[in-house]
């Protein structure tokens, strides 16, 4: 039962978010071989000024052992 949480900067339309959720669902079901009824997708919007403190620090840097693709930016960039 895959559950995907996507955190991103605010500003995308509901249509973009719905299209992204559908694309992620297809990727999950194709890659993992599960049905769509088992997949849930959450999208959380953040302000640019909040990103480093609320997302980068706690979700990326402090949980780097769970990150399969690191971003090309960081607090020192």
Q: Which of 1, 2, 14, 73 is catalytic?
A: 2
CB 24 within 8 A of CB 1: no
Which residues are within 8 A (CB) of 45 and not within 5 positions of it... i.e. 6 or more apart?
8, 9, 10, 11, 12
At residue 70, the 3 state secondary structure works out as: coil
Task: Mark whether 75 is an active-site residue.
Answer: no
Residues with catalytic roles: 2
């Amino acid at each position: 039962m895959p559950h995907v949480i996507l955190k991103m900067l605010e500003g995308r339309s509901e249509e973009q978010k719905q299209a992204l959720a559908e694309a992620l669902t297809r990727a999950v079901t194709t890659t993992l071989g599960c049905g769509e009824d088992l997949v849930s997708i959450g999208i959380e919007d953040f302000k640019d000024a909040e990103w480093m403190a609320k997302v980068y620090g706690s979700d990326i840097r402090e949980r780097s052992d769970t990150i399969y693709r690191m971003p090309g930016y960081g607090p020192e960039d």
